[in-house]
Amino acid sequence: MRKVFCLCIIILLIGVLFVGCAPEEEEPAPEEVEPVPEEESIVLSAVGFLPQDNLMSRLFFELDENLQEMTDGQISIVWTGGPEAVPGWEQHDAVAAGVVDMAMVSGAYYKDQEPVMSGLNLTPFTPTEEREKGVFDFFAEKTANVGLHLVMRGDYQVNTYFWSVDKYDSPRDMEGESFRSDPRVDMVLRDLGLDPVTIDMTEVYPALERGVVVGGSHPTIIVTPMGLHEIYNYVYEPHFMGSATVIIMNPDTYQQIPDGLQEKFDEAVLKTEQEYLEQTFVEEYEEFMAPFLDEGGEIITWTGEDADWYIETAHSALWDEIMEEDPEAAEELMEMYGVDY
């Protein structure tokens, strides 16, 4: 009996031993969950008709900073180049074709399709006032007609003056002289009796050195950075128009921005207009005349009948061109500007 009992104990111990040595049953692996893909960031390529270091081109970098801050980095702008990358007069076509996403150009560069864009040169309003009074929407509609989305104004209080090597006591003394021109102002120079010569801004300095032209029409913001103040000796007051600079965008690119981000994009644009264009930009722009004066440059102020004739002729040239091509749009814009022509 004792033998049987011992045998049972031995069998029991062996069983326990085998159970203890058996491999533990593995727990089922949790289901593999695919990580949620992070939303791809939107990087917008941009070009401008002026070099990267120009105060006007800096608008892109100010906008980029606001975009990245307000979209948590989901939208940014990368500077692709200035006129050396795409000639200024071709940049709006490059945007329409989707070669680049954005560009800073003169709205007058596409006046062949929408003549009224030249009227932006004569705006009496701030960028904010243009939005409040429907002027921005007016130009946005005209810009859309040529396959472009109008993002914002590209400058504020940038005025265009005549500059020259030799002195002209009266605007009538410029008659027959060869002055640098561009599509924005050709008609003005012609009506004032000058010989307009279309030259890209990057070629103006050597053209002045060689005597191809003896003057030009430019905003101060272009003269100083381009070194033209080293050649020009005179600038003439009053200015005869502003600047029609705008930032445009490929409309498909804009529409592909998700709704929530598109709203943030528009908010960043407004912030850039109000905080940079209407404040910082104006303050820094006012300093651009100093280098010209430091080089011995002189400001000549035309007054009386000379000034009246000069301004009336310049403005009439601008409005005549628009009226001839699109009288309905011209009249609508003049009503918004509060001018009678």
pLDDT at 327 over 50: yes
Tokens linked to 321:
């061109």
- Please enumerate in sequence order all residues whose Cβ is within 8 A of that of 35, keeping only pairs 6 or more positions apart, or say none: none
CATH topology of domain 160-242+289-337: D-Maltodextrin-Binding Protein; domain 2 (3.40.190)
Q: Which tops the pLDDT comparison, 51 or 252?
A: 252
Query: 42-156+244-286 and 160-242+289-337 share one CATH topology?
Result: yes
Percentage of the chain beyond pLDDT 70 is: 88
Tokens linked to 293:
């004066």
Q: Taken in order 160, 245, 318, 135, is the CA torsion positive or negative?
A: negative
pLDDT at 99 over 50: yes
Contact call for residues 329 and 115 (beta carbons, < 8 A)? yes
pLDDT band at 31 (very low <50, low <70, confident <90, very high): very low
CATH topology of domain 42-156+244-286: D-Maltodextrin-Binding Protein; domain 2 (3.40.190)
- Mapping DSSP to helix (H, G, I), strand (E, B) and coil, where does residue 151 land? strand
pTM for the model stands at: 0.82
pLDDT for position 39: 53
- As to burial, measured by CB atoms within 10 angstroms (0-12 exposed, 13-18 middle, 19+ buried), residue 118 is buried
pLDDT at 2 over 70: no
pLDDT band at 6 (very low <50, low <70, confident <90, very high): very low
Give residue-wise pLDDT tens across range 249-259.
Answer: 999 999 999 99
| Encoded amino acid at 193, one letter | G
**Domain locations in the chain?**
42-156+244-286, 160-242+289-337
SS3 content of the chain, % helix, strand, coil (to 5): 50, 15, 35
Give the separation between CA 66 and CA 189, rounded to whole angstroms.
39
User: Which spans in the chain are helix H?
Assistant: 2-21, 58-70, 91-96, 127-132, 135-144, 186-191, 204-210, 220-223, 251-255, 259-272, 282-285, 290-294, 304-325, 327-337
Q: Which tops the pLDDT comparison, 216 or 220?
A: 216
Residue carrying the six token digits 């103040």: 229
Phi, psi angle pair for 218, to nearest 5°: -150, 155
Strands, DSSP E only, in 88-171?
A: 102-106, 149-153, 160-164
Q: Which tops the pLDDT comparison, 247 or 83?
A: 247
Contact call for residues 52 and 60 (beta carbons, < 8 A)? no
Give the separation between CA 211 and CA 197, rounded to whole angstroms.
12
